[in-house]
Structure 1
Amino acid sequence: MAALNDLLPQAAVRLDVRVADWREAIRTAGEVLVETGATTEAYTAEMIRNVEENGPYLVIAPGFAFAHARPSPAVLRTGMSWVRLAQPVEFGHESNDPVHLVVGLAAEDSGAHTAAMAALARLLADPATAQALQDAAGPDELHAVLAGPEGEGRPRGADAVREQSGVAPRAVHKILTVCGNGVGTSLFLKNTLEQVLDRWGWSRHVTVEATDTISAKGKACEAVAILTSREIARTLGEVGVPVKVVEDFTSGPEVDRILRDTYDV
């Protein structure tokens, strides 16, 4: 799987860009993807249409929008763009506006970029690292921040720190994390949820699957719960299992609270 810095070359970084609104912000992220050979111009239109059709669910954390669309012929190779705005703009999100950082993703499929998404989610979840990314003076400094902490102090599985979170379920349960396309924001939420499950010591008992809205309706019968954004929850409607709304996809404490509510622990 590609590493974060492999998918985000320095040529794909734009800092302190001035835009008029969210459409221009996404358009800028799309133009960078075109310039670096990741997509055609058609993909930029697809990213904008994704928001128009599904709402601002891609604003997955305070100040952070993760712009993307489904894999399509407009994607030439998997890649990312990084656009830090000089002045934040409104996307229409109820709790995470205004946005000062737009990261664009073009994915050839649903798997090649999973490791990079997990790394980025961990970086943005750390307040000090997130601030360092916001303060980076140029692409070199930004890349150094992105490369520095990856994998450090991030225990997984049996080595993770256990919390006193009650008794783990004996059977293997499944939780779905859902976004409009299944390749971007749902992976951020999946990573955060898996980190919480690791801390609880429940990773052997609960699996997490990132998926899209259409697939989630068919897979809901396999799950104990669905975690998603407010906009996607409205789109899903009644699916027969609890649908839990997460405001900040990178927030371990928020996901911890929702998991406790799901399992009543």
Structure 2
Amino acid sequence: MAALNDLLPATAVRLGVRVADWREAIRTAGGLLVETGAATDTYTAEMIRNVEENGPYLVIAPGFAFVHARPSPAVLRTGMCWVRLDEPVEFGHETNDPVHLVVGLAAEDSGAHTAAMAALARLLADPERARALQDAADPDALRAVLAGTQGERGDRPRDEAAERERTATGRATTGRPAAAGDQSPAASAPAAPEQTGGAQAHHTILTVCGNGVGTSLFLKNTLEQVLDRWGWSRHVTVEATDTISAKGKASGAVAILTSREIARTLGEAGIPVQAVEDFTSGPEVDRVLRDIYDV
């Protein structure tokens, strides 16, 4: 699977960009995808239409918008771009505005970029690395920080103890302190779910976004890290999917995790639908998971 720097060449990075509004921010990102041969101009229009139709669910963490659309003929190859704004802009998100970082994705399918999304999610949840990205003076410095997310295993944090501590403190991209009542998932993990009669159950949880190739992967990665710390990974499978597919898959799942905007479009799914504000926050996902299982 492709690593972050494989999908994000230096020519797809712009720092200190000034834009008038969220549409211009997306047009800037789309322009970089066009310049680097990842997509056509049509894809930029598709990204803007995605927000117009589904709302600002793409703003998945404080100050961070992950803009993309469905795989389409407008995508020429899987690629990413990085736009750091000089002045933040409003996307209309109730809690995560204003946005100062816009990362764009053009995906040929739902598979090749999953490792890169997992690495980026971990990076943005790490206050020190997030600050290093914010302070990077040029594209090469930024790519050096991104390269630091790639360990030997690629899809797991290199320092699990440090990751547990970061999740316990509740700091995310903004470095904000933990809210009252935050607990370390590793220190207070509940017992695994059981079927009637005491046998251990295996459950599926869906993470859902408008297209199933971008923001749902961020949430999937954060949820899987919490499940790892709980020791529940053998008992719960996490599947990232889109709004259309989610309704058909709901009958085989125990819950859906998604944004507030997508939760509204899903309507009645027949299973609990839980909204998550910050897709990179382990403590928030931990609390949502405890609510689902009443633990």
TM-score (norm 2): 0.87
Contact 1:163–1:201 (CA under 8 A) maintained in structure 2: no
SS where residue 29 of structure 2 aligns? helix
Amino acid at match of 1:119: A
1:164 aligns with 2:188: yes
The residue aligned with 2:159 is: 153
Q: Which residue number in structure 1 is paired with residue 270 of structure 2? A: 240
User: Which residue of structure 2 aligns with residue 44 of structure 1?
Assistant: 44
Query: Hey, what's the Cα distance between the residues in 1 that align with 2:37 and 2:187?
Result: 45
How has the CA–CA distance of structure 1 residues 73 and 154 changed in structure 2, closer, same or farther, with 3 Å as cutoff? farther
Query: Please, what TM-score do these two structures have when normalized by structure 1?
Result: 0.96
For these two proteins, the number of residue pairs brought into alignment is: 260
Partner in structure 2 of residue 109 of structure 1? 109
Residue pair 1:178, 1:216 contacting (<8 A) in 2 also: yes
Alpha-carbon distance in 1 for matches of 2:28, 2:64: 15
How far residue 149 of structure 1 moved from its aligned partner, in angstroms, is 3.5
Q: Give 1:121's aligned amino acid.
A: A
Q: What CA distance in whole angstroms lies between the structure 1 residues aligned with 2:227 and 2:150?
A: 20
Unpaired runs of at least 5, structure 2: 152-157, 162-184, 194-199
Deviations 1:111-137 (A, max 9, x none): 010000000000001111111101100
Say which SS state the counterpart of residue 132 (structure 1) adopts.
helix
The residue that corresponds to 2:241 in the other structure is 211
Q: Percent identity of the aligned residues?
A: 83
CA distance in 2, matches of 1:250, 1:16: 24
Structure 2 partner of 1:95:
95
Q: Partner amino acid for 2:231?
A: G
1:90-109, CA deviations, whole angstroms, 9 ceiling, x for partnerless residues?
A: 00000000000000000000
Partner of 1:139: 139
Shift of 1:166: 1.9
| 1:83 corresponds to | 83
Give the structure 1 partner of residue 227 of structure 2.
197
Matched, 1:231 2:261: yes
Structure 1's unaligned 5+ residue stretches are 156-160
SS in 2 for 1:23: helix
- Provide the aligned C-alpha RMSD in A: 1.1
Deviations 1:182-223 (A, max 9, x none): 000000000000000000000000000000000001111111
Distance in 2 between residues matched to 1:257 and 1:98, nearest whole Å:
25
